[in-house]
Amino acid sequence: MSKSPDATLVQAPGVTLTIDGRTVVGRKGRTILEAALENGIKIPYLCYHPRISRTGACRICLVKVNDTMFKTACTEPVAENMKVVSEDAELAAIRKDILEMLLSEGDHNCLYCDANGACELQDLVKRYDAQMPTGEFPRRKREIDEASSKGLKRNEDRCVLCGRCVKACGEIQISNVWQFTGRGSKTHLTSGLFEKIGDSPCVNCGTCSQLCPTGAIMPQLPLGNGFNWELQKESSICIYCGVGCKIDFHKNKEGMLVKATGNGDGPNEGHLCVKGRFGFDFMQKPTRLISPLIKENGEFREAAWEEALDFVAGKLKKIKADSGPDSVGALASAKCSNEDNYLMQKFVRAVVGTNNIDHCARL
Amino acid sequence: MTNSIREIPDSAGFFVIGSNTTENHPVIGSMIKNEVINKGKKLIVVDPREIELSRYADYYFQINPGTNIAILNGLMHVIVKEDLYDKAYVEERCEGFEELAKTLEKYTPEHVADICGLKKPQDIIDAARFIAGLKPMSLYYAMGITQFVSGVNGVKSTANLQMLLGNLGVAGGGVNPLRGQNNVQGACDMGGLPNVYPAYQPVTSEDNKAKFESAWDAKNLSTKPGLTLMEMFNGAIEGKIKALYVMGENPVLSDPNQHHVLEALRSLELFVVQDIFLTETAREAHVVFPSFGFLEKSGTVSNTERRVQLMNKVIDPPGQSKDDWWIIMQLANRLGAKWDYSCSEDIFNEMRKVTPSYAGMTYQRVKNELIQWPCPTPEHPGTQFLHKGKFSRGKGLMTAIDYTPPAEGTDKEYPVALTTGRVLEQFHTGTMSRNSRILEELSPEPFIEMSGHDSRSYDIVDGELISVSTRRGSLRIKVRVTDTAKPGVVFIPFHFKEAAANVLTIDALDPVAKIPEYKACACRIEKILPLDEKGGGR
């Protein structure tokens, strides 16, 4: 979910700094991490996300500034002539340590995790060759709730307390369902005052699941399933209301739809509502119409296209000849494309010869 | 929308009237909430139901259904009387102010509060002063303005208010109707209306007739405006309409007065439906054509802010189903046309030649750029907001409008006002959402929303099955007792065929736009008594 850069910041004055010896230009008021990402330098992170405010919780993006101090790149603003080291042996070791602490705290078993293959923690574990620490670590019992909500699954054993879900709900959806509760090692997620998400006022927009870097919050799947690395994705425009949200639809090897994620380039800036997120499986219902039908003696029978088209065209010709073109009418559709609608009105006007064309604009 | 979704952060305040935004346009609803809750922007909400947004509003008016014009006039009355309007803007850019001001005179806060069912007239004065200080303020509305016999006047009243405040033609302002279907804007733009060709070019004009005859290589295009949807149904019953071809619509559930619609469809000699499911409407057809669903086709759609976007094919279509345009082309060619489109882009390229507002768009541009019409040339960047500098028609026309009540007021026999609409998890007639597993699980059944006050008066409890009747029909439906409802007003979502709200609704139309009055009619609530308590029936 990328956000188009804020216009005022794009115009903000440039700030020149060096990252790993490379001179780059950042923007006044933006962070080291943002300057690095804009210049193709991949500083790792977990709690940062372009759609939400700065957090600085995970410490993965720790960098060296001016050889004297460690700073979290996601919160530290760029400054003129700043010298940044984004990675060296020491930083890599720190990152590995942080990752191993995160691993020890939870139950990060990719074997049965829906995020396997699309997990930012997994990527970093691979990148820094982190291992599950040996030895006994105190483990707290954490919330696993896969069934109370129709839209979301929650497994806090996979949570890294990055806070993206809290901010997704508080800054994008604005339902403020997710919060942190507890202190220190007892910190954990809570859905408002409710133990189960299904009992909370969550409206199932699913934006928390889209921003979650691990498998802690995942969407329920209405239809197909598949390994993340096998899914194919293509964008389209939501079929429901007039906002016109751009959505990436993911399908599995068998061609079944699996999930929908908000695309940052649309007017929705990556956000979706419950209908955009979950209302697509009707497309692959077995009750879809698959053949032209002609009604005979009150019952439908399947017909070939040629027969059905000839039948309708013949009838239309006759009615037009007997009763005139104004005895024919048609309804176009607010659910069809511009091209379909253009052609429908052209058919009615130029081929039938009437202006009896309308659609459900008023409904 | 005159303005754009991305201007929401530019507004100092929002005036939301007749739109349950967080349920019907949730993504825009969240953007407004973000401005109001997280950034302290101002919010005024006008709606008969105590919708979610009303909780965050600086002023909330729970008006009686169908009294939008009265409250708007009441606010404008105060703004004019106290000299709070944007004089320079009105003088320079608008016309009709004198007449409007004269009409507004009688809409005193007390008179308006009486019409709208509001307890505190002083709130109207305070709110008027408040919104006059919000620059720019954007106004959002939806079907809660338009679906009345006074729908067109309601829209004009929203424009009056925004012109008076100088909020039209500026970023972050505007009159912003939220369109309820993903391509209702495009269907209108493409000429899917009885009186206009693409880009709203009137069919009555001889020039337009000549233009389209030449572009389409057609003869004798009709200059007589056609019939609207409701008029076609009436025509079918009268025997004037003999054939009807319906693409992707379900009027049996979506149109008012269901009995009347069914009678019309059953009177036809030829009824053809093109859809993805055997809908309640398709069941009535003589012939059904199976078509592609949205993820099986490519093409463009135009959203509520006039932005044109590309749909891509995501999955393979089932069985013998075909693209909508392909089916239309096959029929056209059997009736003597010689169309030869090979893909949707061919059609788009022809369309833009006859559609000035789309003339500068190509698939390539639409794919890579954010383009909103009007976009008249390939170099034109598109139009973020309308009426910049001056109005499209020259001067902004202020229209003096009087409040008129809904066609069917409540009375002794039918004492409760009924209004209809949608819920978050369902959509329209449910052809899509009710066939989506998670959505259907989230909102599986019809209900009638009733205030605690009314439930006590009728001795009805939450979850009880009751009977609701109007002069058109009646149905049995479960009660949801909620503080959302205003006493004396009930609400039924129209998604559910098992208790179809449109069995009850009235088919009274706005005289200009022919939009049905879904948002207000009179009904009667009755408790269903077990047989042995009925005392032998009545």
Domain count, chain A: 3
Query: Which among B286, B216, B218 is positioned nearest to B246, based on CA atoms?
Result: B286
Q: Does A271 touch chain B (CB under 8 A)?
A: yes
Q: Which of A151-155, B252-256, B273-277, B374-378 has the lowest mean pLDDT?
A: B252-256
Asked whether residue A331 is domain-assigned, the answer is yes
Asked whether residue A245 is domain-assigned, the answer is no
Query: Which among A202, A163, A216 is positioned nearest to A52, based on CA atoms?
Result: A163
Site of tokens 């469809």:
B265
Average pLDDT estimate for A133-145: 79
Q: Which residue range(s) make up the domain with A312?
A: 289-323
State how far the Cα of B54 lies from the Cα of B33, in Å rounded to an integer: 11
Among residues A25, A54, A87, the one where a domain terminates is A87
- Residue A20 and residue A79 in one domain: yes
Among residues A35, A59, A87, the one where a domain terminates is A87
Which chain A residue shows the shortest CA-CA distance from B354? A342
Asked whether residue A82 is domain-assigned, the answer is yes
- Residue A318 and residue A331 in one domain: no
Asked whether residue A354 is domain-assigned, the answer is yes
A187-206 residues touching B, CB cutoff 8 A: 203-205
B182-202 residue pLDDT tens: 999 999 999 999 999 999 999
Asked whether residue A80 is domain-assigned, the answer is yes
The tokens for B416 are 């409760």
Which amino acid would we find at residue B169?
G
State how far the Cα of A289 lies from the Cα of B277, in Å rounded to an integer: 5
CB pairs < 8 Å spanning A and B: 452
Q: Does A315 touch chain B (CB under 8 A)?
A: yes
Cα B460 to chain centroid distance, Å, stands at: 32
The tokens for B60 are 């909330």
- Residue A295 and residue A362 in one domain: no
Question: Domains along chain B?
Answer: 5-178 (3.40.228.10), 184-368 (3.40.50.740), 416-533 (2.40.40.20)
State how far the Cα of B301 lies from the Cα of B309, in Å rounded to an integer: 6
Who's near B176: CB < 8 A, 6+ residues apart? B1, B2, B3, B138, B139, B140, B141, B304
- Residue A68 and residue A20 in one domain: yes
Q: Does A263 touch chain B (CB under 8 A)?
A: no
Mean pLDDT estimate for chain B: 95
State how far the Cα of A246 lies from the Cα of A263, in Å rounded to an integer: 5
State how far the Cα of A46 lies from the Cα of A60, in Å rounded to an integer: 7
Cα B334 to chain centroid distance, Å, stands at: 36
Asked whether residue A73 is domain-assigned, the answer is yes
Q: Which of A257, A272, A348 faces B315 most closely, judged by CB atoms?
A: A257
CB B458 within 8 A of CB B451: no
Q: How far is B491 from chain A (nearest CA, A)?
A: 16
Cross-chain Cβ contact A237/B288 below 8 Å: no
- Residue A38 and residue A82 in one domain: yes
| Phi and psi torsions of B516, nearest 5° | -75, 155
Q: Cβ contacts (< 8 Å) between B253 and chain A: which residues?
A: none
Cross-chain Cβ contact A341/B300 below 8 Å: no
- Residue A336 and residue A316 in one domain: no
- Residue A345 and residue A309 in one domain: no
Q: Beta strand B42-46 with B13-17: parallel, antiparallel or unpaired?
A: parallel
CB A262 within 8 A of CB A246: yes
pLDDT band at B538 (very low <50, low <70, confident <90, very high): very low
- Residue A14 and residue A80 in one domain: yes
B463-498 residue pLDDT tens: 999 999 999 999 999 999 999 999 999 999 999 999
- Residue A59 and residue A18 in one domain: yes
pLDDT above 80 (res B534): no
Which chain B residue shows the shortest CA-CA distance from A221? B438
Helix (H) or strand (E) holding B449: strand B448-450
Q: Does A238 touch chain B (CB under 8 A)?
A: yes
Binning chain A into helix, strand and coil, the percentages to the nearest 5 are 30, 20, 50
Q: Cβ contacts (< 8 Å) between B508 and chain A: which residues?
A: none
Laid out side by side, the sheet with A357-358 consists of A299-302, A293-296, B287-290, B270-275, B243-247, A328-331, A357-358
State how far the Cα of A158 lies from the Cα of A147, in Å rounded to an integer: 17
Cross-chain Cβ contact B187/A276 below 8 Å: no
B115-170 residue pLDDT tens: 999 999 999 999 999 999 999 999 999 999 999 999 999 999 999 999 999 999 99
Q: H helices within B248-323, ranges in order?
A: 251-254, 258-266
Asked whether residue A129 is domain-assigned, the answer is no
pLDDT above 80 (res A139): no
Site of tokens 């700094």:
A17
pLDDT above 60 (res A46): yes
Which chain B residue shows the shortest CA-CA distance from A291? B320
Query: Which among A160, A59, A181 is positioned nearest to A104, based on CA atoms?
Result: A160
Among residues A87, A104, A133, the one where a domain terminates is A87
Taking residue A142's Cβ as centre, other Cβ atoms within 10 Å add up to 17
Cross-chain Cβ contact A360/B243 below 8 Å: no
Asked whether residue A351 is domain-assigned, the answer is yes
The tokens for A197 are 């998400």
Which CATH number does the domain housing residue A59 bear? Answer: 3.10.20.740
- Residue A13 and residue A41 in one domain: yes
- Residue A82 and residue A13 in one domain: yes
Who's near A68: CB < 8 A, 6+ residues apart? none
Put residue B387 in one of left, alpha, beta given phi > 0 → left and psi -120 to 50 → alpha: left
Who's near A347: CB < 8 A, 6+ residues apart? A330, B328, B331, B332, B337
State how far the Cα of B101 lies from the Cα of B80, in Å rounded to an integer: 7
Cis peptide bond prior to B136, omega within 30° of 0: yes
pLDDT band at A11 (very low <50, low <70, confident <90, very high): low
Q: Cβ contacts (< 8 Å) between B243 and chain A: which residues?
A: 315-316, 319, 327-329
First to last CA, chain A: 33
Put residue B430 in one of left, alpha, beta given phi > 0 → left and psi -120 to 50 → alpha: left
Cross-chain Cβ contact B190/A345 below 8 Å: yes
- Residue A33 and residue A76 in one domain: yes
A159-187 residue pLDDT tens: 999 999 999 999 999 999 999 998 888 89
Laid out side by side, the sheet with A62-65 consists of A22-27, A14-19, A83-85, A62-65, A69-72
